[in-house]
Amino acid sequence: MKKNRKKREKTDYQTYHLSWQQWIQYTAESVALCAGINYLFYKSPAVFLFMLPVPVWYIRQRRRQQIILRKRRLQNQFKDALNAIQVGIASGYSLENTVREARKDLERIYSKEAEMTQEFAYMESQIRHGVSLEELLYDLGLRSGVEDIMNFSDVLIQSKKMGGNMRIVLQNCITSIEERLEVKKEIQAVLSSRKMEQKIMSVIPLGIILYMQLTSPGFLDVLYGNEMGICIMTACLALYFAAFQWGVRLTEIEV
């Protein structure tokens, strides 16, 4: 019983709670990042201790990444849910009954643990208690921040207020949202190659420093173990970090 209640809890998609496995993984990754930066730019145990804020920043970035990935999964799953709703409406099901059929389809396509499957299971239980579908979808849109879900809920609300042929209105809305999602998917496919290029270009400066340290160990010794060298390498690290963040922002285009 507790397990079923847990599955039907509302999820706030604006936040993300890391599992203990993720905490261990991201902490280990951040420590390795600090060790790598220290080796390439400072080679000083004392400086390594001053890098303690880096794991905090890194784990926040990874949590933010998980939030974005979960929203994208929710958006893609919503597209399949719309397909199931459209088929149900065309088959003569009422709008409320299409939720049950859509949930079954989502379970087959994804799993019972998938985000949209759990949301539709929650909707199904709430509809049995008299809550309207448009209210549930509007609430999901607010919690998820996914614009397409909000738009679909608005269409449902306006359609019920104004009357008319609900089936035709919903089918036109679903078709429009599906076309928009397809365009987004194509844009993301184009951006994925640019993101890969950005990652490769970000690794090259670090690779050059590592190559010089391995092939000409004494060439960079003047930059380590003295105040002037620390200042120069800190300035280089700051420029590198700024360029890296700029590259990430350029490839993170919201569509």
Residues 91-120 have pLDDT tens digits of: 878 777 888 888 988 999 998 889 999 999
Gyration radius of the chain's alpha carbons: 25
Query: By CB neighbour count within 10 A (0-12 exposed, 13-18 middle, 19+ buried), where does 237 fall?
Result: middle
What integer pLDDT is reported at residue 20 of this predicted model? 92
Q: Does the pLDDT value for residue 3 go beyond 60?
A: no
Which helix (H) or strand (E) segment is 111 a member of? none
Q: What is the mean pLDDT of residues 181-210?
A: 85
47/170 Cα distance (integer angstroms): 61
Supply the pLDDT for residue 63: 94
pLDDT at 178 over 80: no
CA 88 from chain centre, in angstroms, equals 30
- pTM beyond 0.85: the answer is no
**Mean pLDDT rounded to a whole number for the chain:** 84
Output the pLDDT for position 6.
41
